[in-house]
Amino acid sequence: MTILVTGAAGFIGYHLCRRLVERGDRVAGLDNLNSYYEVSLKEARLAELERLGGDFTFYRVALEDSASLQQIFADEGFERVVNLAAQAGVRYSIEAPQAYIDSNITGFLNILNGCRDIGVEHLIYASSSSVYGDTDISPFSTEARVDKPLSIYAATKLADELMANVYHHQFDINVTGLRFFTVYGPWGRPDMSAFLFLDALLNDRPIKLFNEGNHRRDFTYVDDIVEGIIRIVDVESGSGSRLYNIGRGEPVDLLEYVEILERLTGKQAIKELLPMQPGDVEATWADVSALERDFGYRPSVSVESGLEQFVDWFREYYRR
């Protein structure tokens, strides 16, 4: 297939492109390589993809650049589009809300228009567990109301879901939204917990634990996430407008997560207990039964095994 993956230099985008290229798909990767976190890590991911020697083409383009995006869609004639590009980060959205409107709303509208213009068979797009806000319902179900987001980031992801649904009904585009829970693994993002905790641990700095360390998160290893996306991509065509949770389905206490890192590194963490941050939630827990029912999705990587692979990659990449 000919597949567009946006956010190709990002964490999940890199792993997805790698899987698709390795199995022989024709992949176009798109990313603007912004400086939200170290660009050198994004460039290193792209270099890894180039080394595969498969049918991979990279476009350095921002989603907000509608003219360039329109031309790429027309030239490539994609059959599937996986939109993973976004301005990420709940806490950063408090500081820079405009970046989220530009990328996550205007940019996603441009993706929808590109799919409409060339008749893409199926658009799969990234939403987020943050759309649930601070709910008392556990596990989180896609049947639950999501009308009280706690951050601009969450609000933009909720807007994407609504926009995708409108384009399905107006233009008959098959769309599948995936509400990602906390993803971790090799080549991960430096602003996410596994990366921050390990970096602090190895450098004898305090690990900042918000909500006094009483968070619980549905940590999901990146290979399990990619397997779920691949299963959806491989469906002959989409079937309407659908939403799924994609996570492990087993929340882990944040302090237990830190303890696993301590065991893997042989180091004792310095814990700095801090109050809850604005826009944050106490716990996340994915109900993935619908994804299992429709696509046979079954996460298989334990948190301990996933963190071990992450620690090995981190130490090799950063020579620590």
Catalytic annotation, residues: 153
Q: What pairing do the DSSP bridges indicate for beta strands 220-221 and 270-273?
A: unpaired
The tokens describing 1, both together, are 């297939």
d(CA 94, CA 63): 21
> Phi and psi for 212 in degrees, rounded to 5?
55, 25
Name residues whose C-beta falls within 8 Å of residue 239's C-beta, 6 or more positions apart in sequence: 174
For the CA atoms of 97, 34, 91, 10, the dihedral, rounded to the nearest 10 degrees, stands at 130
d(CA 48, CA 17): 10
Cα atoms found within 13 Å of the Cα of residue 316, Cβ hemisphere only: 8
Pick the closest to residue 245 from 282, 191, 283, 292 (CA basis): 292
Pick the closest to residue 258 from 216, 316, 289, 301 (CA basis): 216
Amino acid at 56: F
- DSSP character string of 136-189: S-SSB-TTS-----SSHHHHHHHHHHHHHHHHHHHH---EEEEEE--EE-TT--
d(CA 305, CA 58): 32
The tokens describing 301, both together, are 């990587």
Query: Are the C-beta atoms of 107 and 126 separated by less than 8 Å?
Result: no
